[in-house]
Amino acid sequence: MTTALATTVLALWGTLLSTVLAAIKIAETIQARRRLVISYSFSNDPEQANEIVLINPTGTPVLLGYWELHLLEGEAPWSYKRYRSTYPDVGYTPITVPAHDRYTLNLAGSDHFDIPYRKGWGRRVILLLHVEGASKPLRLVVWRSATPLGGRVLRLFGKKTW
């Protein structure tokens, strides 16, 4: 009887221990993956530069090979079209965002853009980051105009909402 009890206790202990260790390993894997957070500062004044700040909260540096900035405009969420794009001047631009640090993209001069505010679905600013070692570019929505979904639905029925 004591042998069966000891076997059961050891089996339960092994199951509990392996489950806890698996959960710790999954949490470590999630925390160690590449991640970028974006902050921005846009101005309609051409004298001030538009800034997009890339923040790396992980412990691994991120190497960017190329970036693209697209300004999109659309009347409905499925009809966005690109109306302006900005690329680096020199082509391949190796940018390293160090671990627990930030990198700022300054868009001044000919790269400066205005964001007009308008009704409807409006505009979006999309940043495509080509991360070294990734199979496809990382697509980040930097800014989007307010989307009055209720206003759009009511407008379809002939009522003004503004």
- Give residue 98's pLDDT: 92
- pLDDT at residue 85 in the model: 78
* Dihedral over alpha carbons 41, 52, 141, 38 (to 10 degrees): -100
Mean pLDDT, residues 103-117 taken together: 80
Residue 94 CA to residue 69 CA, distance in Å, equals 16
8 vs 114, higher pLDDT: 8
CA distances from 80 to 2, 3, 121, 149 (A): 71, 70, 9, 16
User: For domain 33-154, which architecture applies?
Assistant: Sandwich (2.60)
The band of 151, judged by pLDDT with boundaries at 50, 70 and 90, is very low
In this structure, what are the phi and psi dihedrals at residue 64, rounded to the nearest 5 degrees? -100, 130
